[in-house]
Amino acid sequence: MPDHPLSRRRRRRPLPAGALLIAVHVGRRGGGAFAGARADPALPASDAATGMVYSGLAAAADGPCAGMFQVKGVSPAMCTHGPDAAPAGLSVKRRIQPLAAAAAGASALAVCEGDGTSGRRVEVLYVHGSTSRYQQYLETFRSLAEGVDVIFNESARETGGERHVRYVTETVNGACRPVVRDVQIADSALNANDWAPLLNAVKAAGYTRTDRKYLQFVDANVYCGIGGFAGDTRKSDANRSNSGPEYARADNGCWSAGVAAHELGHTLGAVNNNAPNASGAAHCVDEWDVMCYKDGPNVVIQTKCTDRAHDQRLDCNHDDYYHTNPAAGSYLATYFNVADNLFLIKGTGGGGPGPQPSQNRALSATASASYTSSWESVAAVNDGAEPATSNDTANPRWGTWPETGEQWALLTWPSAQTLTSAEVYLFDDGGGVRVPASWKLQSWNGSAYVDVPGASGYPVAVNQYNRVTFGSVSTTRLRVLLQSGAGSVGLLEVKAYGP
């Protein structure tokens, strides 16, 4: 990922383990790199058009922000290593449009805990000035917060565990949803080319609880994002990442689950500078990863997780900041691990396959297909047999050889099923049947097949299940639609999950 043209900084020196620091991270990756630390007092020139705003910052030579910038006028001291341009496809000056009602309203949190308010929780705030778009964007903010939860839990599943963001929650139409607070502040504080006025205004509105991380969707066009970072490496519940108040901010040009997960990740302790693949400025260098990118001119990026879809997951190879059951003696068994953060709901730890969040509804469906080779069986796609490999010859399988092009396998139920995720095991014998060039899931809406809403991505890995999560749908039919690539296509097993 190329350096931003305004990157004229030196890398911040690494912090010693447990060093007393409350740092603030700004922005979320994409087409540029975050501003790094500077040892000299001069600030780079601001570029408001790209959100590269340095007004209100001071280069700190000593104190808790030594070697970084300090946000002036905020107490206690808050530190940052500078702003960043918006990710590819987003613009700091172009507002994100609200999600379509059908897509936004279909979501719900997979797991909630307690009364929805007690204990350490992440509280979602919509921060605006005299113009409020609260009703217009309420479902969008709820859905984005739920998307953050998906990122955290799907990343936990990769290590055989389960973790959910413990939000402040409420019941909406029978579903558990994140609460979104409506916070009005002065226009001058909202739009200031300086973070301090907004921080102070939000604090003055009462959002200062020590058992809260505040995830702020800010209706302004100043930054991409900004969030707190403690920089504390201690393996202890007393780690400062386990306390609040702390703040993670995304401005309206960067309202996305990925940006919000990145900023919240910093407030939860990612990425400490003594981690194996640390950049030295609160990020990692082993892509693809929510928290990794080139954040300074001397930082070298390594692609260790080649699936680009992992750009929406935490901790490539789970060795830097997030693992639900790290091996004894490993870095995360010794130093702070975000998976242990007290603001997360902890399910299981490691050891074997990750827990299924719901029931496999595919087992009760009837399978059919666009075409089935005479020696194969479409009933194989939901027979419950666990494949050993993508070329499993011990169990029945569905294949379409010699047919190519668009093919499909369909699950049909006698009554509507509520579905939120699915897993697909692709057939690949290395010859006439190969993994598809692409695939997707579609549900029947009563008159047509439509793509499932909010799909997390469609990987095409062999010898494993390819998992996709999506917004809750109620349907009598779920179709796996495959486009052939190097050969015909096929499936060994399909699982469809619902509550």
Note whether 259 and 399 are same-domain residues: no
Tell me the HSE value of 3 on the side-chain side, using a 13 A CA sphere.
14
| Residues whose CB is less than 8 angstroms from the CB of residue 167 and which lie 6 or more positions away in sequence, other chains included | 109, 112, 121, 122, 123, 124, 145, 149, 178, 179
Note whether 371 and 327 are same-domain residues: no
More confident residue, 12 or 197: 197
With a cut of 80, say whether residue 31 has pLDDT above it: no
pLDDT by residue (tens digit) across 101-143?
544 444 689 888 888 999 999 999 999 999 999 999 999 999 9
Q: Is residue 410 part of a domain?
A: yes
Q: Give the residue from 314, 346, 378 where a domain finishes.
A: 346
- 301 C-beta neighbours (distance < 10 Å), count: 17
Question: From CA 400, how far away is CA 370, in angstroms rounded?
Answer: 8
Q: Give the residue from 346, 377, 400 where a domain finishes.
A: 346
- Residue position matching structure tokens 């070329």: 391
Provide the percentage of residues in the chain whose pLDDT is more than 70. Answer: 86
Answer whether 0.75 is exceeded by the pTM. no
Note whether 284 and 432 are same-domain residues: no
Note whether 328 and 412 are same-domain residues: no
Note whether 39 and 168 are same-domain residues: yes
Q: What is the number of structural domains in the chain?
A: 2
- Domain of residue 193 covers 23-346
- Contacts of 456-461 with C-beta under 8 Å, sequence gap 24+, read 456/150, 456/154, 456/309, 456/312, 457/309, 457/312, 459/307, 459/309, 460/426, 460/435, 460/436, 461/307, 461/426
Note whether 442 and 328 are same-domain residues: no
Residue 324's pLDDT is: 94
Residue 348's pLDDT is: 61
Q: Is residue 16 part of a domain?
A: no
Distance from CA of residue 394 to its chain's centroid? 38
Q: Is residue 2 part of a domain?
A: no
Residue 391's pLDDT is: 93
Note whether 430 and 491 are same-domain residues: yes
Note whether 272 and 189 are same-domain residues: yes
Residue 198's pLDDT is: 94
> Domain containing 450 — which CATH number?
2.60.120.260
Exposure class string for 419-455: b at 16+ Cβ within 10 A, else e: bbbbbbbbbbbeeebbbbeebebbbbeeeebeebbbe
pLDDT by residue (tens digit) across 335-363?
999 999 999 999 765 433 333 345 789 99
Q: Is residue 156 part of a domain?
A: yes
Q: Is residue 395 part of a domain?
A: yes
Note whether 169 and 284 are same-domain residues: yes
Residue 66's pLDDT is: 63
More confident residue, 3 or 27: 27
| Residues whose CB is less than 8 angstroms from the CB of residue 1 and which lie 6 or more positions away in sequence, other chains included | 29, 30, 31, 33, 287, 293, 294, 301
Q: Is residue 488 part of a domain?
A: yes
With a cut of 70, say whether residue 369 has pLDDT above it: yes
Cβ-contact 80, 25 below 8 angstroms: yes
Q: What is the dihedral of CA 180, 357, 312, 244, to 10 degrees?
A: 40
Antiparallel, parallel or unpaired: β 406-426 and 490-498: antiparallel
pLDDT bucket at 281, cuts 50 / 70 / 90: confident
Q: Is residue 425 part of a domain?
A: yes
Residue 192's pLDDT is: 95
Residue 456's pLDDT is: 80
Calculate mean pLDDT across residues 266-285: 90
- Residue position matching structure tokens 């014998």: 429
Q: Is residue 18 part of a domain?
A: no
Note whether 335 and 380 are same-domain residues: no
pLDDT by residue (tens digit) across 84-104?
667 778 889 999 999 875 444
Note whether 339 and 364 are same-domain residues: no
Note whether 297 and 169 are same-domain residues: yes
Question: From CA 114, how far away is CA 365, in angstroms rounded?
Answer: 34
Q: Give the residue from 285, 313, 346 where a domain finishes.
A: 346
